Amino acid sequence: MMSAAQTLASRLKALQCHFTWDLDLSRSLLLRCRDNLLDISTDNGNRWLGHIYNLRGFIQYKLGSNEDAQRFFNKATEAFNKMRNADEGPWLVVNYGNLAWLHHQLGDQAESEAYLSKVDALNEKYPSPSQEELHPEIYAEKAYTLMTFNGDMNLVADYFQRAIEMQPDMVWNSWHVLALTYASKYSSTGLDDDIFQKMRIVQEQDPENLNLAAHYLCQRAQKGESIEDEARELATKVLGSPVGSYSGLKTLLWVYRKYISDDEAIDLAEEALKNHPDERYLKRRAALCYQKRVLRRNSPSTKSMLDRAVSLHQEVILLYPDSSLKKKLHLAWIYPQSHDGQAKAEQIYQELFKSYLEPEDKQMLYNYYAQYLYFQKQDHKMSLQYHMEAAKIQHQSFFRKNSIKVLEKIRDKGRHRMCGEIRTFLANLPEP
């Protein structure tokens, strides 16, 4: 017979919650996601507030703060009940599972048992419409979690699709098409026609979702439509909405930079900042707009624009102390645009090389430094060495793919003196 402790352990493992979803998260990813979640507006109209608090609780647990974890899990319970206007429902299964696990880890087995009983009662009262599937509420929360942690977007879309099939819901439809959009992120022609049509329909059903509206505008622009007037109209709506990463501003600024102008993108970001001068998320978005503008080769930047780009980046780095690596790398790209900035850029890189970085962050650093060596210092040989260093790290990412692509291009041209070394390197490079 199993002991009471073994029975409790087996029941905990059988739960559907963040503790059992095998989320392989590095500390740097946890910190980035925590900052991203902090940048989401938590106004009462946010329909994902319960999921957000659940995630923040789990992240705090993983970072070693059990007290904050419990506080956020409790806030998730309150948010779910307020949003659904009910004291119980299947939307609490994951939340109660998290609380059961947390109390178990804290050594409070009686409270853990109490939450396990609550989960059992919910599963009995609100069974999944299909015996072979999870409850749609669980699929939706699992999809949202993977989406936040930059997981497999095809799997995210599949989870949302399963939830929709069992329990159609406008919110899930919106996030389903967003997941499909993210899965096609690097397509030069935009979404497939069937997904594009689905996005059009969902956007009409959810007209207040400005984030979805910005993505739809982006897809239309990629397909060759003229969207300038609509982009400016949407900008007015975004400026009047609560500040946060779900406002659509990030995607809209990308549309401005790509299809209107970098300067108008800067004007929009500055207008948002003028309305909310203390919002760090807006400073982050403005900093990126300035970075893109000053790096544009066919239009030199003024000294005032370079100074603004530098000062914004310096401020953003201080505002995001736990997830500032990429922002420091962006600043290192900006510095050489001024006549005396090369030494400052090199100083950033050398300080980062001396700091402790997890493998995926080191991979990003190697890739950025390789590009810096090639474009800023014209040291092509050393640039290729750092691309190889990035590719060696067994972590699949945009930066690894980019470095491998550079190396393959050199190999295929066959004219560089390192071609033999690169050919051997790529032939022996294992997949992560």
Tens of pLDDT, residues 274-293: 999 999 999 999 999 999 99
Q: Residue 3 — pLDDT band, cuts 50, 70, 90?
A: low
Average pLDDT over residues 328-337: 96
Domain at 4-126: CATH architecture: Alpha Horseshoe (1.25)
Average pLDDT over residues 107-131: 95
Percentage above 90 pLDDT, the chain: 87
Q: Residue 175 — pLDDT band, cuts 50, 70, 90?
A: very high
Q: Which residues of 197-217 are buried (b: 16+ CB within 10 A; e: fewer)?
A: ebbeebbeebeebbbbbbbbb
Tokens of 220: 């239309």
Average pLDDT over residues 399-404: 97
Q: How many helices (H) and strands (E) does the chain have?
A: 22, 0
pLDDT of residue 188: 57
Q: Identify which has the larger pLDDT, 171 or 378.
A: 378
> What is each CA distance from 294 to 193, 219, 268, 308, 314, in whole angstroms?
35, 26, 17, 10, 16
Is residue 243's pLDDT more than 90? yes
Read off the amino acid at residue 353: F
pLDDT of residue 190: 63
pLDDT of residue 44: 64
Tokens of 284: 């982050």
Residue showing tokens 């004219």: 415
pLDDT of residue 158: 96
Tokens of 330: 């962006």
Is residue 395's pLDDT more than 60? yes
Is residue 374's pLDDT more than 60? yes
Average pLDDT over residues 86-93: 95
Across the chain, what does the average pLDDT equal? 94
Is residue 185's pLDDT more than 90? no
Among 155-164, 182-191, 212-221, which is the least confidently predicted range? Answer: 182-191
pLDDT of residue 1: 42
Percentage above 70 pLDDT, the chain: 97
Is residue 142's pLDDT more than 60? yes
Is residue 270's pLDDT more than 50? yes
Non-local CB neighbours of 93 within 8 Å, separated by 6+ positions:
16, 17, 119, 122, 123, 135, 137, 138
pLDDT of residue 348: 98
Note whether 375 and 365 are within 8 A (CB). Answer: no
Q: Residue 297 — pLDDT band, cuts 50, 70, 90?
A: confident
